[in-house]
Structure 1
């Protein structure tokens, strides 16, 4: 995922999926991964710079951490 207000070049799709620009207001029209909105907070924030998964104390579940 990239954030920009200017782009020069060509987006190139791969075996992993299609690359295309979409309007942010249309995100709800797409099937997104479950943690996408948390990840987007990092892009929007002047405070956060990292998105990480950490195991909980029991080691059975993953927790999303923003730093």
Structure 2
């Protein structure tokens, strides 16, 4: 986020910078948070979804981007934590993905 930048504006800008797509009509669908049992902090990510976009998909310094069928998504080599995030985007009853560190390993739960 840039100083004094609203969350939605930040998400729109980041999507454009990383994919070349201009998105609109974003809906907040949930949050992802990390916590650590030995430290007093939380890292919170706001999760937005939309089906409204324009432009041509192009890769950036952040990595290669491309379209794929939904049925092949979970079997693909995904960014760490993406498979666990996917239910938040697809199930309206879920709104939170909570990661926590316990006994030298990461765990998660959907809420």
Q: Which has the higher strand share?
A: 2
TM-score (norm 1): 0.62
Within the candidate set 44, 64, 67, 2:108 is matched to 64
Q: What's the offset of the Cα at 1:15? A: 1.9
Relative contact order, higher structure (CA 8 A, sep 6+): 2
Distance in 1, matches of 2:84 and 2:61, equals: 26
Equivalence for 1:48: 94
Within the candidate set 62, 66, 77, 1:16 is matched to 62
Structure 1 residues 10 and 52: CA distance shift in structure 2, 3 A: farther
User: Structure 1: which 5+ residue stretches go unaligned?
Assistant: none
- How many pairs are equivalent? 65
TM-score (norm 2): 0.44
Q: CA RMSD in A?
A: 2.7
Distance in 2, matches of 1:29 and 1:53, equals: 22
User: Structure 2: which 5+ residue stretches go unaligned?
Assistant: 1-46
- Asked if the contact 2:74/2:83 (under 8 Å) is kept, the reply is no
